Amino acid sequence: MKNHDVQSINLTTSTEKAFDYIANPFNLSKWTGAFKEADQESALLVTPNGELKIGLETKINKELGTIDWYMTMPDNSIGVAYSRVTAGPDNNAIYSFVLIAPPVPLEEVEGTLSAQIGQLKEELLLLQTILAD
């Protein structure tokens, strides 16, 4: 059973601009479908079963280009998403994202992950459009 997915996209902008935009949790609602709103400590997720208020911690390292999100669900389970902004050979940004299966019962993981994989592809294309120089 697959429990993760890795996707990346070329961005026609600098690594600094891409990093600063992606690392700001207030921007999550602009390029993701899952986050209706987000700030430094919490987020409102849109799920198939309605909206869900969660704890949100964004851990960043600008030098390494890492942007990781730790999401605390109402039942105290933790969901994670790992990402990185790196420079490509043309000095434009490459954004890579590791999608981890959410903390749901095992029988739901594959269906949930499959849906999230498709959604992530759309989100990365939107991010590419937003950050186009």
Report the C-alpha gap between 115 and 96 in whole angstroms: 18
pLDDT at position 112 is 80
The pTM for the full model equals 0.89
pLDDT higher than 60, residue 11: yes
Report the C-alpha gap between 117 and 99 in whole angstroms: 8
pLDDT at position 106 is 45
As given in the structure block, the two tokens for residue 97 are: 């994202």
Element (H, E) at 28: helix 28-31
Edge to edge, the sheet with strand 50-61 lists 4-10, 93-100, 78-87, 66-72, 50-61, 42-47, 35-38
Q: Domain residue spans in the chain?
A: 4-130
4-130 is classed CATH 3.30.530.20: yes
Q: What is the pLDDT of residues 54-89, one digit of tens each?
A: 999 999 999 999 999 999 988 898 989 999 999 999
